[in-house]
C-alpha cells in the first residue's frame, strides 16, 4: 500500500516535471504564448518562477545522473582492463561483487532514505552495468571463452545472462531505463547467437528475418503489458524497442545487396531453417494474444493487421528468398511505416511520433539518394545536389511537422482533449 | 511472503541475490569444464631430457607445434586461432587429425586444442604453420632435474588437460613413461 502511494506520488511528480519541460518547448516553438505557458504552469501549482526552474532542473538531474552512471561504469571497466591481469583472482572477484553491492546499497539509500529518486535510480543502473561487466570479467578471470566458436563475435550467453539478471530488477523497481538495458541485452544475445550459429552456412541471410520477427514479438509483448495496470508503463519500452528493431531490419532489406547475395549464394526456396518458422509462430501467438486482450478500436485493428502483415511478409521472404524485387517491397514497407507513425502521432496528438516518423522519412530519402546517385554523379555534384536536396527535405519536413503539430494543438484547444491527455502523461519511450 | 517482497529492501535483496547466483553460475560452469577435461599426452620434438631441465631451459617444442595444413583435413584458412583436432595413437601419445577455423570436431573420441599460429613456410604441396598452445614454457624444476636420464633417444611427452573450449593446462612430464614434476615459467 505504502509502495503504491509512493509510486503514485512519483508518477505525479514526473508528470508535472515533464509538463513543465514540455510547455517551455511549446512556447519556444511558438505553439503557445508566454501567457498560456504561465497559465498552464499556474494550473499545476508551479506559477512561481523559481519553482518552475526547480521543476525543469529535475530532467537535468536525471540526465546528468544517468550519464554519470554510464561514465563511472565505463571507467571501472577500463580500470579493470588496464590493471586487471596484475590483480589476484580472489581480489578481482571480490572487486566485482563489492562494486555491485555498493552501487545497489547507494541506490537504495538515496531512493528510500533520502528521497533522491533520480540519483538512486542512476545508481541502480550502475549496479546493473557492473553486474553485466562482472559476467564478462568472471569469464575472463576463470578462462571461459568470451567469443563464439569462430572467435569473431562476443559470446551471446553473457548477454542473455545479463538480460535474465536485469529484467527482474527493472520490474521490481519500475525502472524503464533498466528495462531498456535488459531488453537490449536480450536482442543483442539473439543477434550474436544467430550470427554464431548461421554465419558460415548458406542460411545466413534468411535467418536475419528472425531479428525482424523478434521486433514484432517485442511490440506485441508491449501491448500485452497493458493487461496489468502496474506494468503499463513498461509496455512503452517494448513498443519502442520492437519498433526500432523491426525498422532496423526493414531498413537493411531496402538495399539490393542482401537479395543479390541470396541469389549469388544460390539459396533455394524452402531452405530457411526451423528457427525462422518457430520465431514467426511465437510472434504470431503474441500478436494474437495482444489482439484478444486489447480493447477493440480502429487503431488496435489496424495495428494488429500491420503486425500480421509483417509476419506474413517474413514467412514469404524466408520461404522464397531469391527475388531482387523484395528491395522494392521493403522500401514500400519502410516508407509506409514512417507514414503510419506520423499519422498515429497526428491522430494521438503526440509530437514524438510525428518527429520520429519524419526522421525515418528523411533517413529513407537520404539513403536512397546515396544508394542510387553515389556511383552515377561526380563527387562534387553528388554533394552539391545532396546538400540542396537535404535542405529541401528539411524545409518540407519542418513545414509538414509544424502544420501537423499546429493542427493537433487546434484540435486540443477546441475541446478534443481526450486524445491529448495520454500524450502528456506518457513518458519517453 | 508476498507482503515481504512488496517492501523495497527485501525486494532488492532478492533481486541482487538472483544476480549473484547468475554470477556464481559462471564460476560453477568453469568448475564443470575443469571436471570434464580430457587428458592428452603430447610428445616433444626433443629426445634429450637435459633440454627441459631447470628454469633456464628453452621453451619446449611439441610434435604438434608445426603442422602441414596441406596434409591435414579440415580448414586451410584461419582467422584468429587454429583448433587442432587430436586423436590418440597406439602408444598413448596424441597426433593431429584435422585443423579447424572454429571449435568443430569431425571425429569421435577426438580432442580439440586451441593455438595461435604463424606461417612457417611452404613448398609444392606443403603449407607449414607454427602453432603456439601457451604450454611451451614448461620445465622440470631444478631439484628434480638431477634425476633426469641423460643422452638422447628418450621419449619425452607432457600430460595435458584440455577443456571443452580447447584451453590446455600442462600437468607433468612423462619420460619413457616415468612421471616427472613440471613447472611453468
**Cross-chain CB nearest to B27 (options A3, A101, A142):** A142
A115 touches chain B (CB under 8 A): no
For B95-144, the pLDDT digits (tens) are: 999 999 888 888 888 999 999 888 766 665 567 889 999 999 999 998 88
- Give every CB contact of residue B21 below 8 A, 6+ residues apart in sequence: none
C-alpha angle B164-B167-B170 in degrees, rounded to nearest 5 = 120
DSSP string, B103-150: S---STT-EEEEEEEEEEEEETTEEEEEEE-S--SEEB-HHHHTTS--
- Delimit the domains of chain B by residue range: 4-33, 37-184
Q: Hey, CA dihedral for B168, B173, B179, B181, is it positive or negative?
A: negative
The answer to whether the beta carbons of residues A192 and A155 sit under 8 Å apart is yes
Residue keyed to cell 604438434: B64
Inside any domain, residue A10: yes
Place A9 in a pLDDT band, splitting at 50, 70 and 90: very low
For B53-103, the pLDDT digits (tens) are: 988 899 999 999 999 888 899 888 887 889 999 999 999 999 999 999 888
What residues 28-87 of chain A have any CB closer than 8 A to a CB of chain B? none
Inside any domain, residue A30: yes
Which chain A residue's Cα is nearest to B82? A150
The answer to whether the beta carbons of residues A222 and A429 sit under 8 Å apart is no
More confident residue, A140 or A378: A140
SS3 assignment, position B53: strand
For B153-177, the pLDDT digits (tens) are: 899 999 999 998 898 999 999 999 9
Find the range with the poorest average confidence among A185-199, A365-379, B39-53: A365-379
At B126 the pLDDT is: 67
At A109 the pLDDT is: 92
Q: Which domain does A29 fall in, by range?
A: 1-47
The answer to whether the beta carbons of residues B181 and B140 sit under 8 Å apart is yes
Total tally of structural domains belonging to chain A? 1
State the distance between the two ends of chain A, measured CA to CA, in whole angstroms.
Answer: 27
How many whole angstroms separate alpha carbon B45 and alpha carbon B27?
A: 36
- Average pLDDT along chain A: 81
How many whole angstroms separate alpha carbon A279 and alpha carbon A217?
A: 9
Neighboring chain A residues of B134 at a CB cutoff of 8 Å: none
How many whole angstroms separate alpha carbon A241 and alpha carbon B54?
A: 60
How far, in Å, are A2, A47, B64, B86, B170 from residue B46 at the CA level?
A: 76, 89, 12, 20, 17
Neighboring chain A residues of B33 at a CB cutoff of 8 Å: 144
For A37-68, the pLDDT digits (tens) are: 777 777 766 655 555 565 556 667 777 877 88
A374 touches chain B (CB under 8 A): no
Neighboring chain B residues of A144 at a CB cutoff of 8 Å: 26, 29-30, 33, 165
Distance from CA of A417 to the nearest CA of B (A): 36
**Buried-exposed string A311-333: b where 16+ CB fall within 10 A, e elsewhere:** bebbbebbeebbeeebbebbbeb
Strand runs labelled E in chain B: 38-43, 66-68, 82-88, 94-100, 111-123, 126-132, 138-139, 156-162, 168-175, 178-180, 183-184
Cell (9 digits) for A226: 497493458
For A291-333, the pLDDT digits (tens) are: 999 888 888 898 999 999 999 999 999 888 888 788 999 999 9
Inside any domain, residue A13: yes
**Cross-chain CB nearest to A150 (options B101, B165, B167):** B101
Best-predicted range by mean pLDDT (A27-31, A395-399, B45-49): B45-49
- Note whether ipTM > 0.90 here: no
At A170 the pLDDT is: 94
SS3 assignment, position B95: strand
C-beta atoms of A172 and B11 within 8 A: yes
For A98-125, the pLDDT digits (tens) are: 999 999 999 999 988 888 888 888 899 9
At A233 the pLDDT is: 87
C-beta atoms of A173 and B11 within 8 A: yes
At A52 the pLDDT is: 59
Best-predicted range by mean pLDDT (A34-38, A69-73, A263-267, B51-55): B51-55
Distance from CA of B113 to the nearest CA of A (A): 13
A97 touches chain B (CB under 8 A): yes
The answer to whether the beta carbons of residues A112 and B8 sit under 8 Å apart is yes
Inside any domain, residue A115: no
Inside any domain, residue A17: yes
How many Cβ contacts (< 8 angstroms) between chains A and B?
A: 74
Inside any domain, residue A33: yes
How far, in Å, are A22, A197, A394 from residue B95 at the CA level?
A: 71, 29, 67
For A135-144, the pLDDT digits (tens) are: 998 888 888 8
A383 touches chain B (CB under 8 A): no
Distance from CA of A182 to the nearest CA of B (A): 13
Distance from CA of A221 to the nearest CA of B (A): 23
Cell (9 digits) for A51: 519553482
Neighboring chain B residues of A3 at a CB cutoff of 8 Å: 6-8
C-beta atoms of B12 and A100 within 8 A: no
How many whole angstroms separate alpha carbon B99 and alpha carbon B129?
A: 11
Please check the confidence at residue A10 and state whether its pLDDT lies above 80: no
Please check the confidence at residue A274 and state whether its pLDDT lies above 60: yes
What mean pLDDT is predicted for residues A190-216?
Answer: 84
C-beta atoms of B80 and A152 within 8 A: yes
Please check the confidence at residue A411 and state whether its pLDDT lies above 90: no
The four Cα atoms A267, A269, A270, A275 give a dihedral, to 10 degrees, of 50
What letter would DSSP give residue A254? Answer: T
Distance from CA of B24 to the nearest CA of A (A): 9
More confident residue, A107 or A32: A107
DSSP string, A20-80: HHHHHHHHHHTSS-HHHHHHHHHHTT--SHHHHHHHHHHHHHHHHHHHHHHHHHHHHHHHH
Amino acid at each position: 500500500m505504502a509502495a503504491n502511494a509512493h509510486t503514485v506520488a512519483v508518477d505525479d511528480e514526473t508528470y508535472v516535471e515533464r509538463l513543465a519541460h514540455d510547455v517551455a518547448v511549446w512556447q519556444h516553438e511558438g505553439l503557445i504564448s508566454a501567457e498560456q505557458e504561465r497559465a498552464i504552469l499556474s494550473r499545476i501549482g508551479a506559477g512561481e518562477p523559481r519553482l518552475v526552474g526547480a521543476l525543469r532542473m529535475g530532467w537535468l538531474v536525471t540526465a546528468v545522473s544517468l550519464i554519470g552512471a554510464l561514465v563511472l561504469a565505463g571507467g571501472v571497466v577500463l580500470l579493470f582492463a588496464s590493471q586487471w591481469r596484475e590483480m589476484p583472482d580472489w581480489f578481482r572477484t571480490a572487486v566485482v561483487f563489492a562494486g555491485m553491492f555498493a552501487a545497489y546499497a547507494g541506490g537504495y539509500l538515496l531512493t528510500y532514505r533520502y528521497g533522491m529518486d533520480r540519483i538512486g535510480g542512476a545508481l541502480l543502473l550502475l549496479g546493473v552495468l557492473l553486474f553485466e561487466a562482472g559476467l564478462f570479467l568472471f569469464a575472463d578471470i576463470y578462462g571461459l571463452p568470451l567469443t563464439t566458436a569462430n572467435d569473431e563475435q562476443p559470446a551471446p550467453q553473457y548477454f542473455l545472462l545479463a538480460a535474465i539478471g536485469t529484467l527482474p530488477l527493472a520490474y521490481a523497481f519500475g525502472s524503464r531505463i533498466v528495462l531498456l538495458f535488459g531488453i537490449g541485452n536480450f536482442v543483442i544475445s539473439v543477434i550474436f547467437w544467430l550470427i554464431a550459429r548461421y554465419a558460415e552456412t548458406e542460411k545466413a541471410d534468411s535467418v536475419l528475418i528472425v531479428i525482424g520477427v523478434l521486433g514484432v514479438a517485442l511490440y506485441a509483448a508491449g501491448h500485452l503489458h497493458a493487461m496489468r495496470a502496474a506494468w503499463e508503463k513498461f509496455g512503452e519500452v517494448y513498443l519502442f524497442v520492437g519498433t526500432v528493431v523491426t525498422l532496423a531490419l526493414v531498413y537493411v532489406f531496402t538495399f539490393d545487396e542482401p537479395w543479390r547475395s541470396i541469389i549469388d549464394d544460390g539459396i533455394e526456396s524452402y531452405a530457411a531453417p526451423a528457427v525462422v518458422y518457430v520465431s514467426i509462430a511465437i510472434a504470431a501467438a503474441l500478436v494474437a494474444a495482444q489482439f484478444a486482450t486489447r480493447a477493440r478500436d480502429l487503431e488496435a485493428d489496424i495495428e494488429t493487421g500491420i503486425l500480421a502483415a509483417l509476419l506474413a511478409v517474413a514467412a514469404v521472404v524466408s520461404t522464397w528468398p531469391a527475388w531482387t524485387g523484395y528491395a522494392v517491397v521493403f522500401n514500400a514497407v519502410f516508407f509506409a511505416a514512417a507514414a503510419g507513425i506520423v499519422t498515429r502521432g497526428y491522430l494521438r496528438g503526440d509530437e514524438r511520433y510525428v518527429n520520429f516518423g519524419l526522421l525515418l522519412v528523411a533517413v529513407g530519402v537520404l539513403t536512397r539518394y546515396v544508394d542510387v546517385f553515389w556511383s552515377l554523379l561526380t563527387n562534387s555534384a553528388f554533394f552539391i545536389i545532396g546538400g540542396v536536396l537535404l535542405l529541401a527535405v528539411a524545409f518540407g519536413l519542418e513545414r509538414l511537422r509544424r502544420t501537423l503539430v499546429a493542427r493537433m494543438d487546434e484540435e486540443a484547444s477546441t475541446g478534443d482533449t481526450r486524445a491529448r491527455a495520454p500524450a502528456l502523461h506518457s513518458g519517453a519511450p | 511472503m508476498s507482503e515481504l517482497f512488496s517492501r523495497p529492501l527485501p525486494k532488492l535483496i532478492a533481486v541482487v541475490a538472483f544476480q549473484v547466483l547468475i554470477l556464481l553460475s559462471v564460476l560453477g560452469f568453469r568448475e564443470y569444464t575443469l571436471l570434464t577435461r580430457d587428458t592428452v599426452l603430447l610428445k616433444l620434438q626433443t629426445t634429450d631430457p637435459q633440454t627441459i631441465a631447470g628454469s633456464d631451459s628453452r621453451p619446449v617444442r611439441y610434435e604438434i607445434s608445426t603442422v602441414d595444413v596441406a596434409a591435414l583435413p579440415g580448414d586451410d584458412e584461419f582467422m584468429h586461432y587454429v583448433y587442432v583436432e587430436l586423436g590418440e595413437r597406439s602408444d598413448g601419445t596424441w597426433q593431429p587429425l584435422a585443423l579447424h577455423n572454429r571449435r568443430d570436431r569431425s571425429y569421435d573420441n577426438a580432442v580439440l586444442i586451441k593455438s595461435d599460429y604463424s606461417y612457417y613456410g611452404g613448398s609444392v604441396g606443403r603449407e607449414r604453420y607454427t602453432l603456439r598452445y601457451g604450454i611451451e614454457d614448461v620445465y622440470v624444476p631444478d631439484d628434480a632435474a638431477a634425476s633426469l636420464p641423460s643422452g638422447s633417444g628418450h621419449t619425452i611427452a607432457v600430460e595435458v588437460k584440455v577443456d571443452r573450449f580447447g584451453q590446455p593446462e600442462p600437468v607433468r612430464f612423462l619420460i619413457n613413461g616415468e612421471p616427472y614434476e613440471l613447472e611453468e615459467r
